[in-house]
C-alpha cells in the first residue's frame, strides 16, 4: 500500500497546471528575466568579492572558498521548500510567495557583504569573518528557499512538451547575463576602490530586487480557497517524501552524475580570477572579464543548441551531454597547459573551448533535469536537483581554492604549477561525470513516471 505521503488527503494536491497551459514565449521571457538578478548577485559574490578578498586583501583562497560553500549546509531547505510549495500555498500563492520570501533574504545579505570588507580593511579579522559568515548564510538560505520553487513556476508556465524548453530559456538568460554583468562590473571597477565597491553593492541590491519582482509579479493567480494545513508536520512529511524519491536507483545515479559534473565544472570558479592576477599579473577589470569569455561562448552554443535540437525529446539528450562534458574537459586541459607554460595567448582560447562545451552540457543537462522531474512532484524533484547543483557547486568552489593553497602554500609550488594542477583535476572530474551518465536509465524513468 502506498504511503499517505504520496497522496495527501488533508492538504492541497500537488499542482499540475503545466498540462493546461499553452506555450507563450513572452510569458516565459518575463519569467526568465528573474535570472538577470540571479546572475548579478552571483557575479558580485563569487567574482567581485571573491577577487577582492584573495587578490586585493590577501586572504587564503581556502577560507574564502569555505565561506562560499558553507551557505549550502542549509541544503535541506531547498527540498523542503520545493515540496511544501507543491502542497501548501503561502499567503494565498502556491509559488510566488515562497520566491519573494527567499529573494528578500538575499537582498538583506548584500549590505553585510560590504560591511565585512570594511572590517577586514580595518584589521578586525574576527568581526569581519563573522559578518561574512552571517552574510553568506542569509544569501544561501534565500537562494535555496526560492531556487527550486522558481524552477517549478517556470516549468508550470508551459505544456509538458515545452517544459524543458521553458527551463532552458530561463537558464540561457542566467548564463547570458553572467558575462554581461561580469564585463559591466569589470569596467565599473577596473582597480579595487572601497567607495566604488560600496556603491556597487547598493546598486546590486536595488537592481536584483527589481528584476525578481518584475519577473514574478502577477505570474500566478491567487487561490480562491486556502489550503488546509497537514497534521503530519512539515519536516516529517518532507523526510518521508525524500525517502520515497531517493529509493529509486535511477534518481540516485542521476544525482551522482549531476553532482560530479557540477563539482568539476566549478572547481575553477574560486581560482580563475586569482590565477590571472598571480600568474600573469592582470588587473581586476581584466580578470573579471574571464567570465565574459567562457560565458559568451556558452551563450552562443546554447542558443544554437536550442535551434538545432529543440524538437528532440529531452530524455534522449544524454549523448549530447557527454559530448559537452568532454569538450569542457578539453578546455580545462588547455587552461592547465596555459598555466604550466605561462603562455598568456592561450588563456582566451582555453576559456572559449570550456564555454562551448558548457553550452552543450547546459542545454542537454537542463532538459534531462526537467525530464527527471515528474509533474506531480515537480517542486520536490527540482528541489533535489537544486540541492545537488548548489551543494556540488559550493564544494567544487571550495575544493578548487583548497587545492590551490595546498599546492602553493603547503607544498611551496609555484603559482603556475598550483593553478595548472587544479585545472587538470577539474578535467578528470568532467570525464568521470560523462562516464556516470546513463541515458537508458533516464528514458526508463520518464516512461515510468511521466
SS3 sequence of 87-103: HCCECCECCHHHHHHHH
pLDDT score for 15: 42
pLDDT score for 11: 36
pLDDT score for 237: 65
pLDDT score for 388: 87
pLDDT score for 433: 97
Residue 340's pLDDT band (cuts 50, 70, 90): very high
> Is there a domain that residue 407 lies in?
yes
- In terms of C-beta density within 10 A (0-12 exposed, 13-18 middle, 19 or more buried), how is residue 182 classed? buried
Inter-residue contact 18 to 161 (CB < 8 Å): no
d(CA 18, CA 240): 25
> Is there a domain that residue 213 lies in?
yes
pLDDT score for 85: 80
Q: Given 3-state DSSP classes, what are the helix, strand and coil percentages for the chain, each rounded to the nearest 5?
A: 80, 0, 20
pLDDT score for 205: 96
Query: What Å distances lie between residue 322 and 318, 327, 390, 432, 445, CA to CA?
Result: 6, 9, 21, 10, 19
pLDDT score for 186: 80
> Is there a domain that residue 5 lies in?
no
pTM: 0.73
Inter-residue contact 102 to 144 (CB < 8 Å): yes
pLDDT tens for 12-46 read 334 444 345 677 888 889 999 999 999 999 889 87
Domain count, the chain: 1
pLDDT of 228 > 60? The answer is no
pLDDT of 124 > 50? The answer is yes
- The percent of residues in the chain predicted with pLDDT above 90, rounded, is 40
- The percent of residues in the chain predicted with pLDDT above 70, rounded, is 90
Residue 2's pLDDT band (cuts 50, 70, 90): very low
Residue 327's pLDDT band (cuts 50, 70, 90): very high
> Is there a domain that residue 3 lies in?
no
CA 243, 384, 48, 105 dihedral sign is negative
Look up the CATH number of the domain holding residue 57.
1.20.1250.20
pLDDT score for 34: 95
Residue 274's pLDDT band (cuts 50, 70, 90): confident
> Is there a domain that residue 7 lies in?
no
Domain enclosing residue 348, as ranges: 17-221+233-449
pLDDT score for 221: 67
pLDDT of 8 > 50? The answer is no
> Is there a domain that residue 11 lies in?
no
Q: Three cell numbers at 46?
A: 563569487
pLDDT tens for 61-95 read 778 877 877 766 777 777 777 778 877 878 777 78
> Is there a domain that residue 319 lies in?
yes
> Region 175-201: what's the mean pLDDT?
86
Amino acid at each position: 500500500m502506498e504511503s499517505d505521503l504520496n497522496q495527501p488527503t488533508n492538504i492541497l494536491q500537488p499542482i499540475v497546471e503545466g498540462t493546461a497551459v499553452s506555450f507563450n514565449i513572452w510569458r516565459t521571457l518575463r519569467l526568465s528575466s528573474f535570472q538577470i538578478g540571479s546572475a548579478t548577485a552571483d557575479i558580485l559574490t563569487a567574482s567581485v568579492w571573491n577577487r577582492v578578498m584573495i587578490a586585493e586583501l590577501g586572504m587564503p583562497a581556502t577560507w574564502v572558498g569555505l565561506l562560499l560553500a558553507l551557505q549550502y549546509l542549509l541544503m535541506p531547505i531547498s527540498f523542503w521548500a520545493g515540496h511544501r510549495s507543491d502542497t501548501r500555498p503561502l499567503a494565498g500563492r502556491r509559488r510566488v510567495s515562497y520566491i519573494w520570501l527567499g529573494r528578500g533574504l538575499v537582498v538583506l545579505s548584500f549590505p553585510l557583504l560590504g560591511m565585512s570588507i570594511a572590517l577586514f580593511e580595518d584589521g578586525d579579522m574576527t568581526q569581519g569573518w563573522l559578518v561574512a559568515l552571517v552574510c553568506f548564510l542569509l544569501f544561501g538560505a534565500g537562494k535555496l528557499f526560492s531556487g527550486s520553487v522558481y524552477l517549478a513556476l517556470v516549468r508550470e508556465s508551459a505544456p509538458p512538451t515545452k517544459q524543458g524548453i521553458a527551463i532552458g530559456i530561463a537558464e540561457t538568460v542566467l548564463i547570458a547575463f553572467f558575462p554581461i554583468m561580469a564585463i559591466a562590473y569589470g569596467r565599473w571597477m577596473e582597480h579595487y576602490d572601497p567607495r566604488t565597491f560600496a556603491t556597487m553593492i547598493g546598486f546590486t541590491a536595488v537592481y536584483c530586487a527589481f528584476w525578481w519582482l518584475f519577473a514574478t509579479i502577477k505570474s500566478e493567480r491567487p487561490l480562491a480557497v486556502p489550503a488546509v494545513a497537514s497534521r503530519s508536520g512539515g519536516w516529517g512529511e518532507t523526510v518521508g517524501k525524500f525517502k520515497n524519491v531517493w529509493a529509486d536507483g535511477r534518481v540516485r545515479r542521476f544525482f551522482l552524475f549531476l553532482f560530479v559534473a557540477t563539482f568539476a565544472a566549478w572547481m575553477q570558479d574560486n581560482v580563475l580570477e586569482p590565477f590571472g592576477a598571480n600568474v600573469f599579473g592582470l588587473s581586476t577589470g581584466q580578470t573579471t572579464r574571464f567570465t565574459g569569455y567562457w560565458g559568451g561562448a556558452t551563450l552562443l552554443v546554447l542558443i544554437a543548441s536550442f535551434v538545432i535540437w529543440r524538437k528532440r525529446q529531452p530524455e534522449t539528450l544524454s549523448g549530447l551531454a557527454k559530448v559537452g562534458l568532454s569538450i569542457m574537459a578539453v578546455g580545462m586541459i588547455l587552461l592547465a597547459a596555459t598555466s604550466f607554460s605561462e603562455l598568456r595567448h592561450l588563456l582566451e582560447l582555453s576559456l572559449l573551448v570550456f564555454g562551448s562545451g558548457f553550452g552543450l552540457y547546459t542545454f542537454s543537462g537542463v532538459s534531462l533535469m526537467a525530464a527527471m522531474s515528474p509533474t506531480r512532484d515537480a517542486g520536490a524533484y527540482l528541489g533535489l536537483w537544486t540541492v545537488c547543483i548548489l551543494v556540488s557547486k559550493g564544494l567544487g568552489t571550495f575544493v578548487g581554492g583548497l587545492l590551490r593553497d595546498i599546492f602553493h602554500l603547503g607544498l611551496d609550488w609555484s603559482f603556475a604549477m598550483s593553478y595548472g594542477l587544479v585545472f587538470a583535476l577539474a578535467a578528470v572530474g568532467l570525464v568521470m561525470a560523462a562516464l556516470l551518465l546513463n541515458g537508458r536509465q533516464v528514458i526508463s524513468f520518464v516512461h515510468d513516471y511521466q
